[in-house]
Structure formats: structure tokens, C-alpha cells
Amino acid sequence: MHRLLRLVAPAVMLTLASCGFFPERVSWSDPRLAPMLKAVEAVDRASLGFTPISRTSTVRLESRPRAGYDAMLHIDGATSRTVAFRKTANGYRWIHEQEAYTGPKPYKTVDGTFPEQIVVTYGTEPVSGHAPNKVHIEYWGEDPRLSTDRYNLTWNQVQPVIAEWHKAK
């Protein structure tokens, strides 16, 4: 049985990946990204607190529609982010973004040890469970400046910490 699984599992994984079940690593020049990047440019993301997306980042495409969105980009660079889209007659519409800043200190949970993070989320539709049309900022870690109200932070609270993290790198 184990031998059969070793033979079949890679083929199943390849099939699932090619069907869009898992995000596919793509180049920024991939023509499938063009309508999504156009949708990103149509939004004043900076006013929501999101940083510019660097074309030196790694990008993966989730092209199979899921509950809540029709496509998603997974972008890893100086920060990690996901950007969700709704399909339109002319391409795509940006509907959700989540950006995570990773800090230098680890923290322990029952699931293991992880680096601290500040996560910023905004969406026009409830993709991640947060209320739409409101910036949500959360902190995961043990920094006493942020851990007392970790699920309801403001930019004023997290910006100095993010600046410290950038200086530490």
C-alpha cells in the first residue's frame, strides 16, 4: 500500500496543482496577471496603509474560484500578502488584500514557535471573515505595546513597531 501511495501521490499532486487547487508560481510577466495588476492599480491602496508591491517579490497565482473570490495572488517579498479579485466582464476587480509584516522576535503557541507579525487586512467584500470596508490591524506576538488589544490596533500603534523592525533588518 505504501509503495502504491509513493507512486500515485506525485501524480495526484501534479494534477491538483495544474487544476488550480494550489497556488502556481508565476512570473510577473505572465499575461494572466495583467488584468489583476490593472485592478490593483485602480485602487488607492496607500490610503489604506498597504505598501507598494515589488516586482522582485515571488508571486503565486490561485486561479480556481473559491468561496469569496475568483482569483488570488500570493506575494512574498519584504512583506507577505494575499490579494483577492472578483471576475468582471472586463477583467478583475480588487476586493481584498492582507499584508503581513514579520518581526524579529519569536513567540510560542500550542502549535509551535512562530515569528511575531503585524497583519493588515482590508476588503470590499468579506473574504477573510473581517467586516468589509474597514482596515483591520492585528498583532501576533508578545510585545507588550501591542499584545493588550492585539485584534483592534491602529496605524498609530503599529507604525513605530514596523519602523523598528525595518531598522533591525
Domain ranges of the chain: 22-168
pLDDT in tens for each of the 169 residues of the chain?
Answer: 444 444 444 444 444 444 456 899 999 999 999 999 999 999 999 999 999 999 999 999 999 998 899 999 999 999 999 999 999 999 999 999 999 999 999 999 999 999 999 999 999 998 888 899 999 999 999 999 998 889 999 999 999 999 999 998 7
Residues 23 and 60: beta-carbon distance below 8 Å: yes
Residues 64 and 21: beta-carbon distance below 8 Å: yes
Q: Find all residues with CB under 8 Å of 73, minimum gap 6, and list them.
A: 33, 36, 59, 60, 61, 62, 82, 83, 85
CA distance 10 to 77: 28
CA distance 12 to 102: 33
Neighbours of 29 (CB within 10 A): 8
